[in-house]
Amino acid sequence: MPASEFSLIEQCFVSKARYQHKHTMITNGDDASVHNLPSNHELVVSTDTAVQGVHWPHDFPLEKAADRAVCAALSDLAAMGAEACWAWVSVVAESTEALQSMGQGVTDALNRYEVELSGGDTVHAPLNSLNITVAGILEKGTAMQRNKANIGDKVWFLGQAGLSALGLQQWLNGQKGGEFISHFSDVIPKIQQGRALRVLGVRCCIDVSDGIFQDANHIGKDSNILMELDVEKFPNWQSLSQELGAKKAMQVMLSGGEDYGLLFTAPAHTKGLNELATWVGVCLQGSGVKAQYKGEDVQLVKSGYDHFAV
């Protein structure tokens, strides 16, 4: 007799999720979870969806796909400077085996970052996918936002640019052992670094998921500044340009997507940032973003990922 939905949930998720947050009052297993907040703190919530064939290739291991989907969701909390606390995960699986694989990936990621699995749902359907809602906490009034950049701020980048896109391309080309594969398969949310930036006084930040150029444009428009980036200042520019040539390196770095680094701005006098990130530009009068290479504006074939672009 096949296992029931509820026994599969217990087997694949509940029994493997090891962490329970101290501010949880009623946890996974009831109709809803209940959580309290410490004094002078706010709740930070984000949700994300990952679909087979869109967010990962059809032949990519489901365990890895689920792991990276959770980590990608947690990266949004990192961009706000929040402590990651809870996750609610709904999984659509085409088979029991697929559910088991995705359950392993989900719980591996949550256990690794000490995030509680607070609830979710499972559905049997022809296409594998996950919807992940994550929540965290931070001190009131300190969240890093996209609309807090000011003229004269420096622009900083924490992470590496373009390597995930190259890893995905290698996978699609059949180079399963390619040098960049791990940058696509292993998403590392910058949770601790995000909290450190917030403590240092950073108030403007974005998670780079759709490409540096496109995500920088969100800050530029929301903050009503022009973000000017110098591609030669990015931390992995030298090695990437030597390997790919300047033109291809610029394209993949600025528009590749799924870097899950943090792009942020801060007043020029802010101390301690050099130990965490790399200075890559400046905020000027205007709106939007432009990138420069050797003093000339960079023209991109594609500015970033858009799910509904034709």
Tokens of 21: 């947050």
With b for 16 or more beta-carbon neighbours within 10 A and e for fewer, the 116-149 pattern comes to bbbbbebeeeeebbbbbbbbbbbbeebbbbbebb
Distance CA 81, CA 191 (A): 7
pTM, rounded to two decimals: 0.94
- Give 110's contacts (C-beta < 8 A, 6+ positions apart): 17, 19, 70, 87, 116, 117
Average pLDDT over residues 100-124: 97
Cα dihedral 206→49→138→262 (10° resolution) = -20
Q: What pLDDT digit, counting tens, does each position of 250-262 carry?
A: 999 999 989 999 9
pLDDT at 96: 96
pLDDT at 303: 58
Q: What is the set of domains in the chain, with CATH numbers?
A: 5-139 (3.30.1330.10), 154-297 (3.90.650.10)
Smallest CA-to-CA distance from 253 within 309, 223, 293 is with 293
Distance CA 305, CA 231 (A): 19
Q: Residue 291, SS3? A: strand
Q: What pLDDT digit, counting tens, does each position of 28-86 carry?
A: 888 999 999 999 999 999 999 999 999 999 999 999 999 999 999 999 999 999 999 99
Q: What pLDDT digit, counting tens, does each position of 200-234 carry?
A: 999 999 999 999 999 999 999 999 999 999 999 99
Q: What pLDDT digit, counting tens, does each position of 164-197 carry?
A: 999 999 999 999 999 999 999 999 999 999 999 9
Look up residue 208 and give its amino acid. V
Look up residue 249 and give its amino acid. A
**pLDDT tier at 155, thresholds 50, 70, 90:** very high
CB 103 within 8 A of CB 10: no
Average pLDDT over residues 111-134: 97
What is the percent of the chain where pLDDT is above 90? 88
pLDDT at 310: 40
Q: What pLDDT digit, counting tens, does each position of 83-100 carry?
A: 999 999 999 999 999 999
Tell me which H or E stretch contains 244: helix 237-244
pLDDT at 306: 55
Q: Which tops the pLDDT comparison, 6 or 284?
A: 284
Q: Which tops the pLDDT comparison, 300 or 294?
A: 294
Which CA distances in Å does 251 have to 46, 168, 178, 283, 305? 29, 15, 20, 22, 12
**In this model, does residue 1 exceed pLDDT 70?**
no
pLDDT at 183: 96
**In this model, does residue 308 exceed pLDDT 60?**
no
